[in-house]
């Protein structure tokens, strides 16, 4: 596998609060990698920094009392530095964020939400991608004319992933896909994420549910207080008693 995504010495501070502290990780092409850790460890901040949302906050809030944000370090995708690019340019390069709980455009229909994901894509290709998404998530085809704000939690997550696939991503950054979902819905989502990887999409996902993440991922990182404190396969990390008990809660 070739190196695809590389994060080096990434730090994010909000005022004096250190959210990410010199964090480094990498994802190889074709991998499904998980980042696990408790709520508040910095998982969402990492994905927001990688996708350009932290830079958007920095640029938008600059000069205001609430805008004391510091962003340092490097995020390279396929050899290109992303850290200073705006979010839409990062998305055009195929780095797509699926936010926690899906965050759809609540007043738009399911189909309209999916079409938003194809704004940069040729119409013919977008139509083909829509059929692929419907094949992957049949429930979205059933709900095509339904207002997105009325969807269940699992359906919103599926919509978020489907919307991302409309833009032909090279890598998906999936934030807490299983949060708040019933076990049966988690099982279904698990299979669909596997299917997405099978389509040739590289995936980095964050999770609090260690079992969910470890069953999916070929390799894992453990984050605590903004730092990576362990890396390895699921078997390697579960065999480490200190990591398992102290950081994984198992």
**pLDDT of the chain, 250 residues: tens digit per residue:** 576 899 999 999 988 889 999 999 999 999 999 999 988 899 999 999 999 999 888 887 664 545 588 999 999 999 999 999 999 999 999 999 998 876 888 899 999 999 999 988 888 999 999 999 999 999 999 999 999 999 988 899 999 999 999 999 999 999 999 888 888 888 999 999 999 999 999 999 999 889 999 999 999 999 999 999 999 999 999 998 888 887 777 6
Q: Residue by residue, what is the 3-state secondary structure of 209-225?
A: CHHHHHHHCCEEEEEEC
Tokens representing 247? 């950081």
The reported pLDDT for the residue numbered 154 is 87
The reported pLDDT for the residue numbered 80 is 96
DSSP designation for 66: G
How far is Cα 245 from Cα 250, in angstroms, rounded to an integer? Answer: 5
| Longest CA span, the chain | 53
DSSP designation for 73: E
How far is Cα 155 from Cα 146, in angstroms, rounded to an integer? Answer: 11
The reported pLDDT for the residue numbered 67 is 59
How far is Cα 217 from Cα 202, in angstroms, rounded to an integer? Answer: 11
Whole-model pTM?
0.92
How far is Cα 129 from Cα 114, in angstroms, rounded to an integer? Answer: 10
* Cβ atoms 147, 108 nearer than 8 A: yes
The reported pLDDT for the residue numbered 47 is 96
The reported pLDDT for the residue numbered 181 is 84
The reported pLDDT for the residue numbered 161 is 92
Q: What domains are there in the chain, each with its CATH number? A: 3-246 (3.40.50.300)
* Cβ atoms 19, 72 nearer than 8 A: no
Residue written as tokens 């978020």?
160
How far is Cα 2 from Cα 76, in angstroms, rounded to an integer? Answer: 13
């Amino acid at each position: 596998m070739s190196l695809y995504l590389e994060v080096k010495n990434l730090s994010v501070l909000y005022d004096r609060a250190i959210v990410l502290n010199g964090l480094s990780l990498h994802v190889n092409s074709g991998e499904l990698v998980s980042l696990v850790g408790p709520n508040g460890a910095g998982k969402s901040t990492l994905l927001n920094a990688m996708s350009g949302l932290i830079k958007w906050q920095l640029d938008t809030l600059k000069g205001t009392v609430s805008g004391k944000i510091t962003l340092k370090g490097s995020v390279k995708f396929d050899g290109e530095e992303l850290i200073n690019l705006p979010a839409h340019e990062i998305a055009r390069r195929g780095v797509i964020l699926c936010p926690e709980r899906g965050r759809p455009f609540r007043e738009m229909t399911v189909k309209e939400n999916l079409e938003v994901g194809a704004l940069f894509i040729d119409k013919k290709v977008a139509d083909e991608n829509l059929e692929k998404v419907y094949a992957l998530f049949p429930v979205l085809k059933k709900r095509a004319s339904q207002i997105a704000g009325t969807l269940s939690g699992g359906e919103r997550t599926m919509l978020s992933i489907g919307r991302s696939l409309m833009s032909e991503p090279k890598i998906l950054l999936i934030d807490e896909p299983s949060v708040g979902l019933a076990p049966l819905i988690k099982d279904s989502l698990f299979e669909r994420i596997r299917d997405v990887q099978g389509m040739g999409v590289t995936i980095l996902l964050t999770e609090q549910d260690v079992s969910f993440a470890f069953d999916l991922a070929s390799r894992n990182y453990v984050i605590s207080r903004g730092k990576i404190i362990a890396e390895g396969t699921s078997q390697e990390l579960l065999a480490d008693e200190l990591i398992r008990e102290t950081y994984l809660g198992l």
